[in-house]
Amino acid sequence: MLPTFVRSTPDGTEQGEFLSLDLGGSNFRVLLVRVMADGEQKVEMESQIYAIPEHLMRGSGSELFDHIADCLSNFLEKMGIKDKKLPLGFTFSFPCQQTKLDESVLVSWTKGFKASGVEGQDVVSLLRKSIKKRGDFDIDIVAVVNDTVGTMMTCGYDDHHCEIGLIVGTGTNACYMEQMRNLELLDGDEGRMCVNTEWGAFGDDGALEDLRTDIDREIDAGSLNPGKQLFEKMISGMYMGELVRLILVRMAKEHLLFQGKTTAELLTTGICLLMDHENCLLDKEGLTSAEQVLRGLGLDPSVEDCIATQRVCQIVSTRAAHLCAATLAAVLRQVRDNKAAEKLFSRRLHKMVRRLVPDCDVRFLQSQDGSGKGAAMVTAVAYRLAAQHVERQRILDTLRLSREQLVEVKKLMSEEMVRGLSKQTHEQASVKMLPTYVRSTPDGTEHGDFLALDLGGSSFRVLLVRVRSGKKHNVDMHHKIYSIPQETMQGTGEELFSHIVDCIADFLEYMGMRGASLPLGFTFSFPCHQSKLDQGILLRWTKGFKASGCVGQDVVTLLKDAVSRRQEFDLNFVAVVNDTVGTMMTCGYEDSKCEVGLIVGTGTNACYMEEMHNIELVENDDGRMCVNMEWGAFGDNGELDDFCTQFDHMVDECSNNPGKQRYEKMISGMYLGEIVRNVLMDFTAKGLLFRGKLSERLKTRGIFETKFLSQIEKDRLAMRQVRSILQHLGLTSSTCDDSVLVKEVCSVVARRAAQLCGAGLAAVVDKIRQNRNLNQLSVTVGVDGTLYKTHPHFANIMQETLQDLAPQCQVTFHKSEDGSGKGAALITAVACRIKSEGQH
């Protein structure tokens, strides 16, 4: 199972002129292969055969390769292409250890060759050296090819489903496309590589002992390599005729044939070739052929002798076909689990293969000139892959950020934070740095029962959060989900808030707390202006809400008015809460060092505890206040233009808010899948993916969900997961190579998002450190959001970036649970604690 470093079969887009050198005996061929891909696949070939004199076969290696270079020069001269530097595929049919596609070390000479100084050397280097010595032409040796691989590649050009190569002739071998993760000899586990099975040696370890006969053992003992290539000796053309001859001799000696007579010719080893017996297998002319063959051996056969000889030929040939089919079935099973002979032999081979693997749809395609055309096709594919790789990487490089760029992002974020905090520049700043009026994180002494109301869409939650002091982390929660009818969302504000209050009353009854008077944390996920903790002026409705009489009003007043109308319970205090701040507070209850909140989910935002004297929008210089950065809008003034790609512009232009939330569109879950989809579309349009064929589903905006990125990047889920997602997207004929590339695109897009997030966070923690004049800061970040929590690498990449860009800050990450529910209640609890402390 030798790696061949051939990573892909032809896809029909290969084109150009390629040279092929086919060396496997005392004659060798040089070919010029022209591959055309304009409209239809077409290959034209011109070749010439050159002889290798015996003294060169047994002389020095340098003389041998000098002779090959001379012949190459002669061929190029004749073809009139000596001035071109063409790629060459080198079929070198001797036992080699291949280390790269263009590097192959000769293990040992066979077939009468004994040129000195070649064994243990890279044959490509020796050929290059001889070409350089001549100096009158140059070629680019791209690939060293095994003839079995050449067979697969030749057929692969005509049939893109061809993933197995089979040779059954003088010798036998097979190759197939194997998953890289199964090739433990090589590093890397993505994609596929062609494996040369060298299956002729199957059985050399004794695995076939139960199947071998005395005659098989006799053939092996008389061969040039006893104990080696045992499978080959049971099925290949080099030995099948000898098998027939030995059976006929044994039957004659036992007086079962030829009246017990033998002849000198019949007793001569190797005289009875398989080709003599192919015709014996045919029903109509079979007896006549058998008689001619036997008379040629000096025998005087009867009709019965001819029938028996024909039967022996059939039995030997059928056994060979069945053995070949059984091993091919094993290869097919392997290919399925991961994802060329003639006449009666081929029919029996096909029939047995289909019997052994009925669940594999197998088509046999005869190869024409696998070692010549095939070597050129390997070279053509290698050239195509190299050119496509360069183009793909050029595109992906626009999505890769250097350290210098990330340092610049951190610097720009820091500048925008200062602009957002300043009264003078606040209006123009893209990062608004909104005061939240949350003045403290929990200290563990908070206690009591609190309601939380989480309103951000067509359904909302009402929660009862019981906070117990003394023992930290003691929080009990109960909740119920309610829906808001469409007509209420778009009716009057009075109707909307009355509906909300009705649901709160229902919840209190459900909890057995009817008529209670409780403080409430109100997570109101719509744009608001806050001038104190218990006030939020609605700036505009979003997410399908259009309730009249609300914009420009304080949502706390609207809620309290609805409570008063119902006259069933009371809210003695209402805090308007941002979910990012809730995230920080939830984690702050368990870790007193938590002074930063971060959300990376559908959207993204951050908050942190800022010094009051820096918050110019609020009159008061004492202590700290949590600032809601609203950092998703970073870049709206052009700060990120140098980092935006064509794909970011496409996503932005097709969004509901072009030109807005630019940073969020490069980071958050709502947009990453769409960036990936646009990259895949671009690659496909350029013929770099899916063989240039787009599916209608992939053209659909939003069809590539961000959860796919997380699923695709989960380590060791292998390509099966990617393939199933691509099939869901209508890309049913995608290849393993397509899957590898899709995974790479997902990885690049997610990595950039995590790095951008890390750079922004670096600006935040460094600001806290500088505010406090510390050389080293130790701080905890409370994090929430599906992208952060479910993507297998996002958190690590973000943390690595943060550590690199803010080395003086030791940052711990704490995953938050339910910032908009539990967090909202804790903000209210802290506010109530501070209020009661102020009263004492």
Range of the domain at 121: 2-162+370-388
Residue 122 gets which letter from DSSP?
B
My answer on whether 378 and 502 are in the same domain is no
- Cβ atoms of 216 and 234 within 8 Å: the answer is yes
My answer on whether 154 and 21 are in the same domain is yes
% pLDDT > 90, the chain: 32
My answer on whether 450 and 379 are in the same domain is no
My answer on whether 425 and 381 are in the same domain is no
CA distances from 715 to 130, 459, 725 (A): 46, 36, 16
pTM: 0.72
**Calpha distance 689→742 (Å, rounded):** 9
Catalytic residue among 579, 648, 737, 766: 579
Note the pLDDT of residue 8. 65
pLDDT at 317 over 80: yes
Q: Where are the alpha helices (DSSP H) in 368-484?
A: 373-397, 403-421
Note the pLDDT of residue 344. 47
- Cβ atoms of 761 and 781 within 8 Å: the answer is yes
Find where tokens 């002779």 sit: 67
The tally of domains found in the chain comes to: 2
**390's tokens:** 């360069």
Note the pLDDT of residue 335. 75
Mean pLDDT of 659-685: 92
**713's tokens:** 């990047």
My answer on whether 17 and 99 are in the same domain is yes
Summarize pLDDT for 85-99 with one digit per residue, the tens.
888 888 887 777 877
**579 catalytic per annotation:** yes
Summarize pLDDT for 612-653 with one digit per residue, the tens.
999 999 988 889 999 999 999 999 999 999 999 999 999 999
My answer on whether 467 and 375 are in the same domain is no
CA distances from 338 to 21, 189, 745 (A): 33, 13, 23
Catalytic residue among 384, 461, 723, 751: 461
Which one has a higher pLDDT value, 139 or 631? 631
Mean pLDDT of 13-37: 79
342 falls in which pLDDT band (50, 70, 90)?
Answer: very low
pLDDT at 102 over 90: no
Which one has a higher pLDDT value, 755 or 576? 755
My answer on whether 464 and 504 are in the same domain is yes
**Calpha distance 6→375 (Å, rounded):** 11
For residue 285, is it within any domain?
no
Catalytic residue among 125, 302, 469, 525: 525
Nearest alpha-carbon partner for 669 in 602, 737, 581: 602
pLDDT at 298 over 90: no
274 falls in which pLDDT band (50, 70, 90)?
Answer: very low
372 falls in which pLDDT band (50, 70, 90)?
Answer: low
Domain end among 530, 557, 591: 591
Note the pLDDT of residue 407. 97
pLDDT at 586 over 70: yes
Which one has a higher pLDDT value, 395 or 193? 395
Look up the CATH number of the domain holding residue 545.
3.30.420.40
Burial class of residue 738, CB neighbours in 10 A (0-12, 13-18, 19+): buried
My answer on whether 432 and 374 are in the same domain is no
- Cβ atoms of 796 and 715 within 8 Å: the answer is no
My answer on whether 154 and 9 are in the same domain is yes
My answer on whether 11 and 90 are in the same domain is yes
Inter-axis angle of helices 373-397 and 669-685, to 10 degrees? Answer: 140
My answer on whether 384 and 449 are in the same domain is no
Mean pLDDT of 307-313: 86
Note the pLDDT of residue 397. 95
Tally the C-alpha atoms within 13 A of residue 289's C-alpha that lie toward its C-beta: 17
For residue 443, is it within any domain?
yes
For residue 698, is it within any domain?
no
Note the pLDDT of residue 29. 85
**125 catalytic per annotation:** no
For 370, other C-beta atoms within 10 Å of its C-beta total: 26
For residue 768, is it within any domain?
no
DSSP helix/strand/coil, 429: coil
Summarize pLDDT for 704-749 with one digit per residue, the tens.
888 888 888 775 555 677 878 888 888 877 777 788 888 899 999 9
For 56, other C-beta atoms within 10 Å of its C-beta total: 19
For residue 14, is it within any domain?
yes
For residue 778, is it within any domain?
no
**769 catalytic per annotation:** no
For residue 476, is it within any domain?
yes
Note the pLDDT of residue 299. 87
pLDDT at 186 over 80: no
403 falls in which pLDDT band (50, 70, 90)?
Answer: very high
Which one has a higher pLDDT value, 458 or 595? 595
Q: Please provide residue 650's backbone torsions phi and psi, each rounded to the nearest 5 degrees.
A: -65, -45
My answer on whether 459 and 378 are in the same domain is no
9 falls in which pLDDT band (50, 70, 90)?
Answer: low
pLDDT at 369 over 70: no
For residue 748, is it within any domain?
no
- Cβ atoms of 200 and 236 within 8 Å: the answer is yes
Summarize pLDDT for 33-61 with one digit per residue, the tens.
887 766 566 777 788 888 888 888 888 98
